[in-house]
Homo-oligomer: A and B are copies of this chain.
Amino acid sequence: MGGDIKEFVGTLRAIVDEAKFNVEPDGIQVRAVDPANVAMDDGVLSAGAFESYDASEGVLGLNLERLEGVLKLAKKNDLVELSFDTNTFKLVIYIDGVEFTMACIDPDSIRSEPEIPDMDLPASFTVDESQIRRGVKAADMVSDHIQIRCDETEQAVFIEAQGDTDDVSLELTEEEYTELTAVDAEALFSLDYVKDISRKFPKNAAISITFGTDFPMMIEYEFADGECEILSMIAPRIRSN
């Protein structure tokens, strides 16, 4: 379990430093938006991801940086025990003989959770995380922006970037998709956000991306045998051409 909760917290850390954890009987739900309102994460870690889980409803405000630091002490298969002391308002984390007592943050002091807008995003595809990361790495050599483009005629998706002097283009070929709904669409994103988020993709995860021309992009994947689901949303940048 150490690995899963580390992954969950690491994902959120890509965009925020502190977050509200909504603890519910069937799992933990977190929604967080970055300070610039460009990226949002909505993650669920189900009770099934835990060896044992027993919780009543509540909201914890947590410093993710400190929590991530503590979880680093856990090896992949170490059990991580979390409990909340309702008297002291402290989270107690127990990892293989080490007991951490961590102060919580007042949830009201954390930015309130955004609504996920209702959007009609026509294009979508699912590829292995390595393809996205490859496209991001290539884009990073020439530009601060990255474009996702879907071509209905070619039935293909392109990850592209245009620099001042150099360009780069990665065509996702048919054998790389596990799913493709090809509709003409293109959208530009700030590379920094896409980099931060894609860096946290679990190894070999199937990444589903849904997007539309100049609309936000939705990035979905799961891990921990499906017990953890992540939805990341990134707002588009205005294309200048």
Q: Does A171 contact B (CB under 8 A)?
A: yes
Complex CA gap A103/B168 in Å reads 12
Q: Is the CB of B134 within 8 A of A98?
A: yes
Distance of A97 Cα from B137 Cα, bound (Å): 13
- List A138-153 residues whose CB lies under 8 Å from chain B: 138, 141-142
* Complex contact A173–B97 (CB within 8 A): yes
Q: Which A60-119 residues sit within 8 Å CB-CB of chain B?
A: 66, 69-70, 73, 97-103
Q: A166, B103: Cβ atoms under 8 Å?
A: yes
Residues from chain B with Cβ under 8 Å of A101 in the complex: 166-169
Residues of B within 8 A of A141 (CB): 66, 69-70, 73, 100
Binary flags per residue of A159-170, CB closer than 8 Å to B gives 1, else 0? 000000111111
A106 CA / B141 CA spacing, docked (Å): 21
Tell me, rounded to whole Å, the shortest Cβ–Cβ distance linking A134 to chain B: 7
Query: Cβ of B98 and Cβ of A170 under 8 Å apart?
Result: yes
Contact, CB under 8 Å: A100 / B69: no
Contact at B138–A169, with CB atoms within 8 Å?
A: no
CA distance in complex: A97, B135 (Å): 10
Chain B min CB distance to A174 (Å): 12
Of B66, B73, B103, B169, the residue contacting A98 (CB under 8 A) is B169
Docked Cα-Cα span, A135 to B102, in Å, equals 17
How far, in Å, is A191 (CB) from chain B's closest CB? 15
Q: Mark A164-205, 1 if CB is under 8 A from B, else 0.
A: 011111111100000000000000000000000000000000
Which residues of chain B come closer than 8 Å to A168, judged between CB atoms?
Answer: 98-101
What B residues does A73 contact at CB under 8 A? 134, 137-138, 141
Name 25 A/B residue pairs within 8 A (Cβ), A-sorted.
Answer: A66-B166, A69-B141, A70-B141, A73-B134, A73-B137, A73-B138, A73-B141, A97-B134, A97-B170, A97-B171, A97-B172, A98-B135, A98-B168, A98-B170, A99-B168, A99-B169, A99-B170, A100-B138, A100-B142, A101-B167, A101-B168, A101-B169, A102-B165, A103-B165, A103-B166
